[in-house]
Amino acid sequence: MPDTVIDLRSDTVTRPTPAMRAAIQAAEVGDDVFGEDPTVNRLQEKVATLLGKEAALFVPSGTMSNQICVKAHTQPGDELLCEASCHIYVNEAGGPAALSGVTCRTIEGDYGVLDLSELEDKIRPVNDHQVRTRLVALENTHNRGGGRIFPLEKIAAISSWAHRQGLLMHLDGARLWNAIVATGIPGIEWAEHFDSVSVCFSKGLGAPIGSALAGSREFVTGAKQAGMAAAGALFALEHHVDRLAEDHRHAQVIAQAVADTPGLLLDPPEVETNLVFFEVDPDLGSAKDVATVLKQRGVLVHLPGPQTIRACTHLDVSSAQAERAAEIIRQAVPQVVPAGERGV
């Protein structure tokens, strides 16, 4: 092998540039389940804006993005219409069948491009014996079609027909960025014909991982699931498993403070890992009353129920902080004014 390799295998072999690595390193992060990851939020907003959709969701891969969309648009037993060599049908391990219970009715295209006339007779009649035709999935640019751009007029014609027939439209836009640059037609004009659009950052754009799906807010909420950055996950798996024992020790410190505090009851009584659940005696007040006094002193807890509190130890809680939280529980909770004395 010569010293310099020109790797033409795929646009997925790209490696992050030094600037991208620096950006990843400097990324602001937060808890995405609480909607508090500023980098994920910024990315999702940007994608939604570029595609003219209400919302977007960052996911690890293009396959996952497509399959989430198929799942969110269909019911088991439905059928989708797609081009015979498209990625969703050929390269996603039977995902529509395996994950959504959906059959694919394939139509041979012209390098991936379909014409409305080839779809018009493919909707099954409404009949108890037949599958329900529900979704049309197109790919742009088309991978197996050799990077072919799906002409916008053809998309517009298919989309208005599909919507008139009560079908939904999905775009596998793994390389929509290439179609945008090659034609000068902005993303919004492509995306307006689809109920959902999937785009990838890990192909030509050169990010190490990641895709996004976009659509209406309702659709994206229905599609939502935990997004994760593989590099972070891998590092965590290699470096952060053994240290969980530390979190468990910290949870014991907090659990002891709860056990020592009148009006609080550990439930379950034994804490085995990093989650400390406890109940607040209604005579003392509500979980919110207790959480409020803790918050005033700088301790944040989660409230899974009106009388229930969860304290969770993790990587960002040091031994000193666990001790301090325990001390605050011991000192502050007795200062909650009991409900009876408040005249409640």
Ligand X SMILES: Cc1ncc(COP(=O)(O)O)c(C=O)c1O
- What is the residue whose two structure tokens read 């609480």? 34
Q: What is the C-alpha separation between 109 and 143, in angstroms, rounded? A: 13
Please say which residue, 151 or 263, places its beta carbon nearer to ligand X. Answer: 151
Work out how close the CB of 261 gets to ligand X at its nearest, in angstroms, rounded to a whole number: 50
| Pick 62 or 187: Cβ nearer ligand X | 62
9 versus 243: smaller Cβ distance to ligand X: 9
- DSSP H helices, 224-297, are 230-239, 244-260, 287-296
The number of residues in the chain equals 344
> Cβ(215)–Cβ(199) under 8 Å?
no
Q: Does 87 bind ligand X (CB under 6 A)?
A: yes
> Which residue's beta carbon is nearest to the bound ligand X?
62
Pick 78 or 139: Cβ nearer ligand X: 139
Counting Cα atoms < 13 Å in the Cβ hemisphere of 318 gives 3
- For ligand X, which is the closer residue by CB, 206 or 338? 206
Among residue numbers 243 through 302, which ones bind ligand X (CB under 6 A)? none
Nearer to ligand X, 232 or 282 (CB): 232
Buried b (16+ CB within 10 A) or exposed e, 302-325: eeeeebebebbbeeebeeeebebb
Report the Cα–Cα distance between both ends of the chain, in Å, rounded: 80
State the number of binding residues for ligand X (CB under 6 A).
Answer: 13
| Residue 307 in the binding site for ligand X (CB under 6 A) | no
Which residues ranging from 10 to 39 are in contact with ligand X (CB under 6 A)?
12
Calpha distance 75→57 (Å, rounded): 21
Residue 214 C-beta: closest distance to ligand X, Å? 15
Q: In whole angstroms, what is the distance from residue 96 CA to residue 104 CA?
A: 7
CB of 49 to ligand X, least distance (A): 22
Give one DSSP letter per residue of 194-233, joined into a string.
Answer: -SEEEEESSSTT--SS-EEEEE-HHHHHHH------HHHH
CA distance 21 to 14: 13
Q: Which 46-75 residues touch ligand X, going by CB under 6 A? A: 61-63, 66
Q: How far is the CB of 88 from ligand X (least distance, A)?
A: 7
- Which CB, 174 or 229, lies closer to ligand X? 174
Site for ligand X in 103-142 (CB under 6 A): 139
* DSSP character string of 112-124: TB--HHHHTT-SP
Nearer residue to ligand X within complex by CB, 44 or 143? 143
Strands, sheet with 302-305, edge to edge from the N-terminal-most edge strand? 264-266, 275-280, 308-312, 302-305
Of 44, 143, 261, 286, the residue at the interface with ligand X (CB under 6 A) is 143
CA-closest candidate to residue 285, choices 306, 254, 312, 257: 306
CB 189, min distance to ligand X, A = 20
- Residue from 67, 133, 159, 211 binding ligand X (CB under 6 A): 211
Among 174, 176, 212, 271, binds ligand X (CB under 6 A): 174
In this complex, which beta carbon is closest to ligand X, that of residue 53 or of residue 203?
A: 203
CB of 72 to ligand X, least distance (A): 17
83 binds ligand X (CB under 6 A): no
Q: Which residues bind ligand X (CB under 6 A)?
A: 12, 61-63, 66, 87, 139, 143, 172, 174, 200, 202, 211
